[in-house]
Structure 1
């Protein structure tokens, strides 16, 4: 740890263990009466509340107390507890998410590309990866649904879905203040609470967080004097306001607003090869970098949602969810990470979407039904400039910029229904289907500017070109012949996605299930197009699952699933320099034949005593990718998809005169994986992380706290990167775009220590 870390003496450590975590395992009376046994876990994986042991879906659920005991503060840490799951911070910003489940996801965060794993906040779909690395605030639980969820969740859940569920208010006057300090100057403040406006009827909830941390590293050399040189720092604020109205016992309404502003610096990558154009050797620390760009960065998110739930009768209920979400990012990405403008990419992303969903649900004797209608309308625009100044000057030009602007907009409508029928007392059948229609329109202006250009002016829509920029005619029509596209390219797709399952309740504690399901991700246009090209075809995922969920004598729980996935027509893009002209990017978007994945997932809980619990999660994958050399050349494997993930953790409850302590410890292992499917130059060897913590809650239940140590062995592991270099196979490399050896990696968090203290009013 660097000198920025907080120094914890043995005395301070001893004192800190008497102050500890977030929300503990239960209320005080529950703890005093705690007996050995397995917890009953309720989830909404099938959009109705059910016991997780009765749900024929591979799902991991982490409650607020689970998250608190493990000291989890962001969405990405959830990957450690869900088998065959990747949730990692992408390159460039602290807030952009890379999500893969069972080898299915989306690597590229550019506008127009949509995720393969759906992220939901209270049933509201987050359409873009920017801002999807959610910091946990007022959360009730997080559910990870593995495998395609095309029937009930539909849009872009071909790999699975991650659900962030916030707490419903109790109706009492409550407030909670929490402070966290930690290594690298971490200083976090969270304030949450609720106020009853009308007793038992109308409540207002609030939440605010200010999260800050110094950088794990620094920019060793910068072309801009006086700017902040911290790398991997954090400067984020988040807020929530919620209005809940219980009109009657049968009618409930909720209006919720959330906002996040991330002013953390742009992240600089670690050069794995020294620059051949300037003084930029491989740094000593993986968190150190160089830059020629501004380090300032901005990600803004705002969301508004409205939900009404009406229990029409004892069997029927209606639910309506409407939402509006906006995101804006102004980011600076230095691809080459030197103090020269070898390959600099300033970019702007601007997205907004609205959605409406109406559900009609039925629970009767021997039959359950979830059905609904879903509407989505989204606009995703962006502008980036690939500044190749060094290359331009070598060609006797004042500079050189590849400038790309455009929008990729979509509307989607769907109807769905899924019913479960009891054929006998033990045997049931699940049948579901969804019909989706999606329309997209897109345009791209892509051209060269013979100077250095930044996207701070002349942005789309209503783009007015620079006279020095030569635009090819791409993704649209130019009726005025002024080199500016005035009509977008359009396409539409429709798909019927079924689900069929059989469940057998062998006894009260044992359920066997088998299912077939299909996921659908619509076609899309190339947001980097350099020629007027057709849209890529949709992706289809077919999945077979067989599982058993069993509790043994209320002390041992074993949930095991085996599965097989056939992923057809995977959308794929490559960006390679032209052999004849290094200033031209050959942009190809199309479909490869696909990939296949088979695997096993096991989640085991053992209640050794009333005080000691063990948890084990194992994921095994065997993945194969079908190459299509006419499109992308040789593919070497699936990205972000290790053959094995494993987690072993334990927690021990101590009842003392000072209060209740929960001591936790865990080991997480992630097998080797590659970051890009067409190269193994950016590959991560298998690694393991050790995490420990101690939580405390006073006997009165008002004071609480926690001390946590993450990544105790200080493992270095890659989570993103850029590869613009060719391996000659003899220890030498051929420079790529920009004329330099650009091979750059981004890394996950180093060893950290943090202390949390909170008080409930």
Structure 2
């Protein structure tokens, strides 16, 4: 067995399965989604295929008329499949990775078409944008959203640099909440399940002023025991591992002062008090008694097991329909997050390599947007401003050496943009799309980096801002010398500007067939290294150029196929290259640079077949072939893209049955992910291909007030890694691992959920 697959879980992808998947994928494609509230009287002749509304281009449109690769999953489908968190959406979108990161239940790892960001440290920018009602979520902490009062979720694949701006070079995920109906509504829902799962959701709305002012609310309390335990932990600490203790709340105020003016004020808050996650040791410790546990969800720790993720946001949207053709919209938002956390890297009962950390982020944004609908053209344009403060601290406690390596600082940014996109008819069937966005961005960064004697923890004297290191005598390693005395004493700055275009051609061959081709560009912000040990320069922005060819077609009233071929040139990929010195366990070089470029090409195919009035079959297939080219100046070789399997495949069936006690829906699904690496710079942590089987049955009473569902996830109990840490000093001739940073072999994995079953019952009026 090779080192690259020794610790992978799951089963191998067979050539037969690959051939079947490829054959299906080249035949046709997509459409899997519903949007509750769709106008049933919309002009259409379809008797079985639904009309799906999306807002991918900042205005409401029919999915089949939008020349973008999109998966949209509506509220009804989410309910029928028992989808409860954002990460489960990856199973229905080709070439998409949405997984819970290491360390917490709420931190998101997102990749689309091989583009994303694995490291959640402050200052790093994501490659996939996450949006809640068109408000950008800048940080991955807290981005694993529990679905509460959701209308639909849209996954936009490929660079979205024109309409959505920076940090969407892989794509964007949009979480759209329900707009209020104007009446009085109340919904109470409870769930019980495996590992003592006990969830409660309360949502509703009521009119404060009839036809004018409405108040909406939502609250969720989500609890579950751990999948495993900490076999060793400090005295008095909760030993549950992979447990869940989270609350989420939303309050919405909607105001309709006139028929053409609409205002919405949103507040939301999430508190995740689940324990810190402990990793599974893949090799025994060299320095203490920590053998490989029998259960992949078991761990050891010398740190406290508590953890916290706090998120809070406030947003205001004002929409004014100036005329039948012109509408103006303003979206303003403020979000903040605070997350003290405990990450035991070595996962032993000794503090060989422990990392308690604090993340603290605040950001504000303002967007003014105009939409104009002409006789033969549409125009969308706007102005955007964004400002953020992103700070943090982590203490790498090396107890065996009696030292703590402290790193702290801030990586703040301000960004301004103007954009416009227009689609216009060239002939009766041929149209063209032209778009452009200009972005100007500035970053300020400072890093304090140095060793302290003994074990140091950040929580007791955490100070907002980059002066934390100075408080305890850690020198500034990245900054500016303002007075010329040779000592860094102020943040370092860098600025970038970028013009990102989009050009597309769309051919409406007939009423049910859209052919399209497009070129688009996106960029991910340049940034400073938040772990910098020297006064290094900032990494340049990443640039992605994408070409797509697609077809969206409805074949009669029962088959819908959407297929996209894409080629993506991803330049100046930012990587932290970690170089541990096997001769000195206190040396860990972590240099940030534009270390590589890649060419990612592939196909995405989604098919819906309404086989009968009751039975619907769906398939979503993705194939991606990546060619990674490394910068010759990087000494540590990059071996491939992380979190990016070559193949993804989802097959599902839905059967609707009418009974005397109400409609019943049966859902069955199979999801497959091919092999993928956890890290770009080594193949030690690699997950073999695996498949999951999910089954659900849901019911609704005749009057629609009562509903319920029984959902079984991961029925075959597959074990699959979604994160990990690799700090080893290399591989000896006999195949054993050499000690790395901290003097031990730190090689751990974090795993996705095991087999679970849960029952939901709800009442609404």
TM-score of the superposed pair, with normalisation by structure 1: 0.93
Shift of 1:511: 0.4
Alpha-carbon distance between aligned partners in 1 of 2:450 and 2:496, rounded to the nearest angstrom: 30
What are the Cα deviations for residues 532-569 of structure 1, in whole angstroms up to 9, with x where unaligned?
01101110000000000000011000000000000000
Shift of 1:463: 3.0
Q: Matched residue of 1:679: which SS?
A: coil
Aligned residue in 2 for 1:723: 726
1:333 to 312, 336, 343: 343
Alpha-carbon distance between aligned partners in 1 of 2:155 and 2:236, rounded to the nearest angstrom: 44
Alpha-carbon distance between aligned partners in 2 of 1:467 and 1:368, rounded to the nearest angstrom: 56
Q: Matched residue of 1:680: which SS?
A: coil
Quick check: 1:239 aligned with 2:249?
yes
Deviates more, 1:689-698 or 1:455-464: 455-464
Aligned residue in 1 for 2:275: 265
Shift of 1:139: 0.2
Q: 1:590 to 1:465 in 2, by over 3 A?
A: closer
| 1:268-307 aligned within 5 A | 268-307=278-317
| 1:664-683 aligned within 5 A | 664-683=667-686
Q: Matched residue of 1:477: which SS?
A: coil
2:326 to 316, 321, 327: 316
1:155 to 151, 154, 166: 166
1:590 to 584, 587, 593: 593
2:660 to 643, 657, 661: 657
Alpha-carbon distance between aligned partners in 1 of 2:219 and 2:620, rounded to the nearest angstrom: 33
Aligned residue in 2 for 1:7: none
Deviates more, 1:195-204 or 1:583-592: 583-592
2:65 to 37, 49, 54: 54
Q: Matched residue of 1:120: which SS?
A: strand
Conservation of the 8 A alpha-carbon contact between 2:220 and 2:249: yes
Shift of 1:584: 2.4
Q: Matched residue of 1:110: which SS?
A: coil
Q: 1:351 to 1:451 in 2, by over 3 A?
A: same
Alpha-carbon distance between aligned partners in 2 of 1:325 and 1:481, rounded to the nearest angstrom: 39
Aligned residue in 2 for 1:16: none
Aligned residue in 2 for 1:45: 56
Aligned residue in 2 for 1:541: 544
| 1:342-353 aligned within 5 A | 342-353=352-363
Alpha-carbon distance between aligned partners in 2 of 1:265 and 1:470, rounded to the nearest angstrom: 30
Conservation of the 8 A alpha-carbon contact between 1:291 and 1:337: yes
Aligned residue in 1 for 2:8: none
Q: Matched residue of 1:582: which SS?
A: strand
Q: Which runs of 5+ in 2 are unaligned?
A: 1-32
1:744 to 739, 748, 755: 748
1:689 to 683, 688, 692: 692
Aligned residue in 1 for 2:761: 757
Shift of 1:199: 0.4
Alpha-carbon distance between aligned partners in 2 of 1:464 and 1:496, rounded to the nearest angstrom: 37
| 1:355-434 aligned within 5 A | 355-390=365-400, 392=401, 399-434=402-437
| RMSD between superposed Cα atoms in Å | 1.9
Alpha-carbon distance between aligned partners in 2 of 1:576 and 1:626, rounded to the nearest angstrom: 19
Conservation of the 8 A alpha-carbon contact between 1:693 and 1:709: yes
TM-score of the superposed pair, with normalisation by structure 2: 0.93
Aligned residue in 1 for 2:18: none
Shift of 1:461: 2.1
Alpha-carbon distance between aligned partners in 2 of 1:99 and 1:627, rounded to the nearest angstrom: 22
What are the Cα deviations for residues 242-291 of structure 1, in whole angstroms up to 9, with x where unaligned?
00001111100000000000000000000000001111100000000000
Shift of 1:460: 4.1
Aligned residue in 2 for 1:623: 626
Q: Matched residue of 1:640: which SS?
A: coil
Shift of 1:472: 5.5
Aligned residue in 2 for 1:141: 152
Quick check: 1:114 aligned with 2:125?
yes
Quick check: 1:63 aligned with 2:108?
no
Aligned length: 728
Quick check: 1:189 aligned with 2:193?
no
| 1:449-598 aligned within 5 A | 449-456=452-459, 457-461=461-465, 463=467, 465=469, 469-471=473-475, 473-477=477-481, 479=483, 485-578=488-581, 581-598=584-601
Q: 1:462 to 1:164 in 2, by over 3 A?
A: closer
Shift of 1:478: 6.7
Conservation of the 8 A alpha-carbon contact between 1:24 and 1:69: no
What are the Cα deviations for residues 24-66 of structure 1, in whole angstroms up to 9, with x where unaligned?
9979x98xxx995101000000001000000000000000001
Shift of 1:480: 9.4
Q: Which runs of 5+ in 1 are unaligned?
A: 1-22, 393-398
Q: 1:608 to 1:473 in 2, by over 3 A?
A: closer
Q: 1:75 to 1:376 in 2, by over 3 A?
A: same
Deviates more, 1:361-370 or 1:76-85: 361-370
Aligned residue in 1 for 2:216: 205
What are the Cα deviations for residues 385-424 of structure 1, in whole angstroms up to 9, with x where unaligned?
000011x1xxxxxx20000110000000000000001111
Alpha-carbon distance between aligned partners in 2 of 1:152 and 1:184, rounded to the nearest angstrom: 43
Conservation of the 8 A alpha-carbon contact between 2:196 and 2:224: yes
Alpha-carbon distance between aligned partners in 1 of 2:678 and 2:482, rounded to the nearest angstrom: 38
Alpha-carbon distance between aligned partners in 2 of 1:706 and 1:88, rounded to the nearest angstrom: 24
Aligned residue in 2 for 1:170: 181
Shift of 1:592: 1.9
Q: Matched residue of 2:87: which SS?
A: helix
What are the Cα deviations for residues 688-721 of structure 1, in whole angstroms up to 9, with x where unaligned?
0000000000001000000000000000000000
Quick check: 1:72 aligned with 2:83?
yes
Q: Matched residue of 1:168: which SS?
A: coil
Quick check: 1:252 aligned with 2:255?
no
Alpha-carbon distance between aligned partners in 1 of 2:552 and 2:635, rounded to the nearest angstrom: 42
Q: Matched residue of 1:76: which SS?
A: helix
Alpha-carbon distance between aligned partners in 1 of 2:118 and 2:630, rounded to the nearest angstrom: 18
What are the Cα deviations for residues 399-452 of structure 1, in whole angstroms up to 9, with x where unaligned?
200001100000000000000011111000000000000100000010000111
Alpha-carbon distance between aligned partners in 2 of 1:145 and 1:91, rounded to the nearest angstrom: 25
Alpha-carbon distance between aligned partners in 1 of 2:60 and 2:295, rounded to the nearest angstrom: 48
Conservation of the 8 A alpha-carbon contact between 1:232 and 1:267: yes
Alpha-carbon distance between aligned partners in 2 of 1:117 and 1:207, rounded to the nearest angstrom: 27
Shift of 1:471: 2.4
